Amino acid sequence: MNDVSAPEARGQGAWGRRAVVRVPATSANLGPGFDSLGLALTLYDEVTVEVTEGGLVIEVDGEGADDLAGRGERHLVVRVLRRTFEVIDELAGSGLGQPPGLRLSCVNRIPHSRGLGSSSAAIIAGIVAGRALHPHGGLLDDAAALALATEIEGHPDNVAPCLYGGLTIAWSGPGGPRAVRLDLDREVVAFVPGHTLATERARGLLPQVVPHADAAANAGRAALLIAALTGGADDAEVLLAATEDRLHQGYRAPAMPESAALVDRLRAAGIPAVISGAGPTVLAFTTTSRVDSIRSEVGNGWLKRPLNVDPHGACVQPPAS
């Protein structure tokens, strides 16, 4: 992740004046890697936070503009900013508290409630902006930022690639959440439907227990997927097998029948396709030209988004010259 918070440049006692943060969309699970694998994608939200003399002003352009601007202190980025300032204060023992006022401007391009990590992007944007603005922000390293993001989001599979970029394998242990980042340069195609699906509803469809054979199959497929994506077994047939899942997609299919049907059609055509996150977006490991050649199998009603893997993760943008 590109961290240019540099509190030393402005003096340890002064709030930063302005931070512009770019955060990528993400796709979690990638088929068999339930709650562990994640991919950063080249589709971005941009969040600008300014410290002001007082009050709270929120401006939203793009996704959610009609609803989010009026949320005030309930806005997710604002809540994360407040929490980030508290955590940094605890680390520094400074007792600085909250800045006198905030102006938040969001340009949202990541679709909401469609399995592309919009909430994780908001969380990471708030943490990275808060770190850039707080005079002791350098104390919140990436490991601490991941822990804070996981605390807020509940699981690390989307926040890890949003923070680090690339392909991430995330897990939680006694020491808190961790993630391993792998470089990946690969084109993907996202099929985004017009309707939404709440993550809570999708999670509510999952059983408490699964057959041992299904768990064993997914463990093997997840290991194979890492090899296929990183070049150890980069073969179309291998990647098709590696993206098979038995733990979540079938159970969630009744909540998104069109998405499940599209996955089946694409896979029948030899294209490795999965549900992105909790859905209903479908992610295909293929090229735009390959998808165009099976236009009839894809059908109508999908926004086709050719994307690549974002290598950087959340970035604080340099000041405008």
- The answer on whether 259 is annotated among ligand-binding residues is no
- The answer on whether 74 is annotated among ligand-binding residues is no
User: For strand 167-173 and strand 176-182, is the pairing parallel, antiparallel, or unpaired?
Assistant: antiparallel
Closest Cα to residue 204, out of 251, 145, 245? 251
Closest Cα to residue 49, out of 125, 4, 5, 104? 104
Closest Cα to residue 63, out of 44, 80, 79? 44
- The answer on whether 68 is annotated among ligand-binding residues is no
26 vs 42: CA distance, rounded Å: 9
Place of tokens 């079938």: 250
Contact 76, 30 (CB under 8 A): no
- The answer on whether 105 is annotated among ligand-binding residues is no
- The answer on whether 140 is annotated among ligand-binding residues is no
Contact 48, 18 (CB under 8 A): yes
**Encoded amino acid at 178, one letter:** R
- The answer on whether 115 is annotated among ligand-binding residues is yes
Contact 33, 1 (CB under 8 A): no
- The answer on whether 97 is annotated among ligand-binding residues is no
User: For strand 55-62 and strand 101-108, is the pairing parallel, antiparallel, or unpaired?
Assistant: parallel
Burial class (CB in 10 A: 0-12, 13-18, 19+), 274: buried
- The answer on whether 175 is annotated among ligand-binding residues is no
- The answer on whether 112 is annotated among ligand-binding residues is yes
Contact 90, 136 (CB under 8 A): no
Strand partners, 173: 176
- The answer on whether 120 is annotated among ligand-binding residues is yes
- The answer on whether 232 is annotated among ligand-binding residues is no
Burial 14-32 (b: 16+ CB within 10 A, else e): ebbeebbbbbbbbbbbbbb
Apex CA 33: angle with CA 35 and CA 188, to 5°? 110
Task: Name the binding residues for ATP.
Answer: 111-121
Task: Name the binding residues.
Answer: 111-121
